[in-house]
Structure 1
Amino acid sequence: MNQRPHAAPHTAVWLHGVSIIAPGLADWPQAAAVLRGEQAWAHAPSVLPPAQALPAAERRRASRVVRLALALGQRALDGQDPADIATVFTSSGADGHNCHALCEQLAGEDRAISPTRFHNSVHNAAAGYWGIATRSMAPSQVLCAHDASLGAGWIDAVGQLLDGAPEVLLVAYDSEYPEPLHACRPVPDAAGIALWLGTAPRERSLGTLHGALTRDPVNTLAAAPLDGLRRAFPALRGLPLLERIARGDDRPVVLDYLAPQHLRLRFTPRQP
């Protein structure tokens, strides 16, 4: 990796849009109410909408991971044309169900892998489907850093902004593995967040985010069930930040990254 991303956290960027899909958190408006304490969190499986933006053939092949990533990105942009918006897709593991199916196939007598299964197995599958769904030709990065994937995605996204990209869509997501892999990597469901970032304000911008690397301790959430989500899903390590955004709270928050380093972010709400 070149040195560009290491400079990225020490700058302020504009936050234009947010989205989330997680167990008991169907979308950002509901999640914001829960994070503000206005609504109780109740466990429910993640609701993954169909990938309606894909052509019919690709829509039938779209996995849970693809549906999750597409919905997160589209909801964060909220109708904005994605054609010129660079993307960063970051996931700790990507498509667990497809990985399981491939392992089953290879463990049997017939080891012929279908082309569809193979191309859905690569880590950049969600980014590829994003390009098909949106017809975007903008640059796209795909990352994996195990439990630090959200932080790595943030650093890369801000690095692109410093390098001249006017806007970047960061999509962080995780999905479950069936048994027996689930016992080794017990992600319980599909979940993720997306942040639409830019170097200049838009009319809809929520505020600014300033980031830096730190060795300060990581923030947790006071509500035990929500902190359970934070710990269960690498992509949801950003929940303390989303809580600050939902509350309009400008106190800094520290998120997990590559220990002993963590990521300190401060959200400053836009003034009326």
Structure 2
Amino acid sequence: MKCELVILEWAAYADGLVTRDEWLAWARGPAQLPAEHVQQVPALSDMPAMMRRRVDRLGRLACQVAYWCQQVAGDVPLVFASRYGDAHRSLQLLGDLVQQQPLSPTGFALSVHNAVAALYSIARGDTRNAVVVAGGRATVTAALVEAAALIADGEPEVLVVCYEAPLPEHYAHFQDEHNCEFAWAWRVTGAHRGSEGVTVLLQLGEETTDAAPLPLMGRPEGLAVLRQVLQQIGKVGGDQVLVRHERPGVCARWSAHA
């Protein structure tokens, strides 16, 4: 299977990486993760105050990059992607159950996987569909396939938002890749529309021998793919292909060109 999309607009946020110049410099440098936690969480001033107070720190990262990408865009379908979402809220609810405390209806509503996308769309008054995906290590792959399907079905553009954070300490046993707090957003369209931008090509097929399987604690797919794209935006790295074995038997090959 092959998906080809053009990135019309992009934004990203991590610790010490906010502006485009900072992200492009990161892509040119050694392949390393940003700091585990963001020291300065975005103020999210674009969102109304009564709505903003419901958004946690990871949600603020996701909503901020979405606002930056949609400042001048119309009402478009949303694809939000996160492997674990806000696991901290879910863990807090479980703790309340153990202590036989009553559960907060608001806390429960904000713990579900589509809460961030819902808050963003409600705050903006968006009425288009919002899809939230979680696909393990292949979460970004799932998001881009979903966006490609929407475009193939006739949508002119789709906003894709990827956001992640390390698991809480109680879930650390399940952490199988190094991670940090980050979020990025792409406004994408179909490559067949002839729009200018960076073209991302995702090819899914059976496992090949051109790359070893990912180590147990590899880099998260979201940052690996983002780095691949930013290298093309910054015109460094040549026409390299990023090969990822996110699931047994399946190989994902990512390439990009300006």
- Please state which band the TM-score falls in when normalised by the shorter chain: 0.7 to 0.9
Over aligned residue pairs, what C-alpha RMSD do you find? 3.0
- 1:109–1:42 CA distance, 2 compared to 1 (3 A): closer
* Aligned counterpart in structure 2 of residue 18 of structure 1, from 10, 33, 36: 10
Q: In structure 1, what is the equivalent of residue 73 of structure 2? A: 81
Q: In structure 2, what is the equivalent of residue 265 of structure 1? A: 254
- CA deviations on 1:67-118 (whole Å, 9 max, x unpaired) are 12111212234x22342x11111110101221121111011032x1111101
Shift of 1:52: 2.2
- CA deviations on 1:202-236 (whole Å, 9 max, x unpaired) are 5xx4232222113346879xxxxxx99x9354432
**Quick one: distance in 1 between partners of 2:253 and 2:234?**
18
Size of the aligned set, in residue pairs, is 249
The question of whether the paired residues in 2 share the 8 Å contact of 1:64 and 1:190 is answered with: no
3-state SS in 2 of match to 1:231: coil
2:51 matches 1:51: no
3-state SS in 2 of match to 1:171: strand
**Quick one: distance in 2 between partners of 1:27 and 1:62?**
22
2:136 matches 1:146: yes
Identity of aligned residues (%): 23
Q: Give structure 1 regions of 4+ aligned residues with deviation exceeding 6 angstroms.
A: 217-220
- 1:217–1:140 CA distance, 2 compared to 1 (3 A): farther
**Quick one: distance in 1 between partners of 2:127 and 2:231?**
33
Q: In structure 1, what is the equivalent of residue 189 of structure 2? A: 198
2:80 matches 1:93: no
**Quick one: distance in 2 between partners of 1:219 and 1:33?**
26
**Quick one: distance in 1 between partners of 2:208 and 2:12?**
26
TM-score, with structure 1 as normaliser: 0.79
**Quick one: distance in 2 between partners of 1:243 and 1:217?**
26
Runs of 5+ unmatched residues, structure 1: 1-8, 221-226
**Quick one: distance in 2 between partners of 1:118 and 1:171?**
22
- 1:195–1:217 CA distance, 2 compared to 1 (3 A): farther
Q: In structure 2, what is the equivalent of residue 36 of structure 1? A: 28
**Quick one: distance in 1 between partners of 2:210 and 2:21?**
25
The question of whether the paired residues in 1 share the 8 Å contact of 2:198 and 2:233 is answered with: no
**Quick one: distance in 2 between partners of 1:175 and 1:106?**
24
**Quick one: distance in 2 between partners of 1:159 and 1:67?**
27
Shift of 1:252: 3.0
Amino acid at match of 1:45: H
Q: Which moves more between the two structures, 184-193 or 66-75?
A: 184-193
2:172 matches 1:182: yes
- 1:218–1:63 CA distance, 2 compared to 1 (3 A): farther
The question of whether the paired residues in 2 share the 8 Å contact of 1:97 and 1:176 is answered with: no
3-state SS in 1 of match to 2:18: coil
- 1:59–1:82 CA distance, 2 compared to 1 (3 A): same
Q: In structure 1, what is the equivalent of residue 126 of structure 2? A: 136
Shift of 1:43: 4.0
TM-score, with structure 2 as normaliser: 0.83
The question of whether the paired residues in 2 share the 8 Å contact of 1:170 and 1:196 is answered with: yes
Amino acid at match of 1:180: H
- CA deviations on 1:110-142 (whole Å, 9 max, x unpaired) are 2x1111101101110011011122211122111
- 1:256–1:72 CA distance, 2 compared to 1 (3 A): farther
Shift of 1:11: 4.3
* Aligned counterpart in structure 2 of residue 161 of structure 1, from 151, 154, 176: 151
Q: In structure 2, what is the equivalent of residue 242 of structure 1? A: 229
Amino acid at match of 1:74: Y
Q: In structure 1, what is the equivalent of residue 199 of structure 2? A: 208
Q: In structure 2, what is the equivalent of residue 6 of structure 1? A: none
**Quick one: distance in 2 between partners of 1:262 and 1:14?**
22
Shift of 1:37: 3.0
